[in-house]
Structure 1
Amino acid sequence: MTEQKRLAAGDRAPDFTLPDSEGAEVSLSDYRGRSVIIYFYPAAATPGCTKQACDFRDNLAELDGAGHAVLGVSPDKPAKLASFVAAEGLTFPLLSDPDKAVMNAYGAFGEKVMYGKTVTGVIRSTFVVGADGLLTHAFYNVRATGHVAKLRKDLKI
């Protein structure tokens, strides 16, 4: 299994501009001066990804109150993201990275083990970008269930 380039706390967060569920461009630089939680997930409207997105939605007030914006990134096209946002009442931006350039920059796409087999795909990952643009946390291979609770604990929220 080839090792993906992984980011760590203290690394500069790779900047990006991606379309959201409405097709509007969202850039990481739009959030400079504020902490941002960026989470990468495999596919909108699948059971694990729905659980994770709803978990972020249900904890958004506390995360926002502690100064953290939330951005979700998947390879889905904006139209699929729009359906997901509407179906689940999501209240934070979901971004479309169909060519996986941003996922690759964050080390969130590559080889992983699923059900005992090595496959290539999205590595469920979460990053916390500080107001200065540097990573304060980098989590790879996170679980869809319980991840937001762990994140809140790690961020002392």
Structure 2
Amino acid sequence: MSENATTEAIRLAAGDAAPDFTLPDANGDELALASLHGKKTIVYFYPAASTPGCTKQACDFRDSLESLQGAGYQVVGISPDAPAKLAKFAAKEELGFPLLSDEDHAVAAAYGAWGEKKNYGRVYEGLIRSTFAIDENGIVEVAQYNVRATGHVAKLRRDLGLDPK
């Protein structure tokens, strides 16, 4: 393959097995997806902690956390940020769910959440804001790509058949 050739990112769909991962959290402790089997999990990928859109999205999950947990879901956020930056973000926004560091983008790539982006005519590689609902057995229930930071949790709740809050 030539240097200029691009490959289409793999996209997950409902019914696919969620790729396993082990990543450091904001405290530097490792969290593995396999350790969450037996629980429904929402994994969302966001570009950068403490930016306006990512803050809106994280706070939307924070504000919806109790109702999502009531429906049986836990929430995990993943970004390319270092654990120290995640710790500051989580503390400042009072997030009650784990934030994981994917500095080499390997997990984002496995989920199809890393790839070609276009912004103001510029083409570059970056994180594609994406969300996945994973069932108790590690199977993808819902896969959403290119989601909006604002109003995303309400759409996710509708797609999961939950009452929007």
Map residues 117-136 of structure 1 onto 2, 5 A cutoff.
Answer: 117-136=122-141
Unaligned runs of 5+ in 1: none
Distance in 1 (CA, whole Å) between partners of 2:119 and 2:107 is 22
Q: CA RMSD in A?
A: 0.9
What residue in structure 2 maps to residue 46 of structure 1? Answer: 51
Distance in 2 (CA, whole Å) between partners of 1:132 and 1:65 is 19
Unaligned runs of 5+ in 2: 1-5
Map residues 33-112 of structure 1 onto 2, 5 A cutoff.
Answer: 33-112=38-117
Deviation at 1:115, TM superposition (A): 2.6
TM-score computed with the length of structure 2 as normaliser: 0.92
Say whether the 8 Å CA contact 2:142–2:160 is kept in structure 1.
no
Distance in 2 (CA, whole Å) between partners of 1:136 and 1:74 is 21
Q: Could you report, residue by residue, the CA deviation over 1:3-61 in whole angstroms, capped at 9, with x for unpaired residues? A: 21111111100000101001111110111011100000000000000000000000000
Answering whether residue 15 of structure 2 is matched by residue 13 of structure 1, we say: no
Give runs of ≥4 in structure 1 deviating > 6 Å. Answer: none
Larger Rg: 2
Say whether the 8 Å CA contact 1:2–1:111 is kept in structure 2.
no
Q: How many residues get paired?
A: 157
Deviation at 1:104, TM superposition (A): 0.7
What residue in structure 2 maps to residue 143 of structure 1? Answer: 148
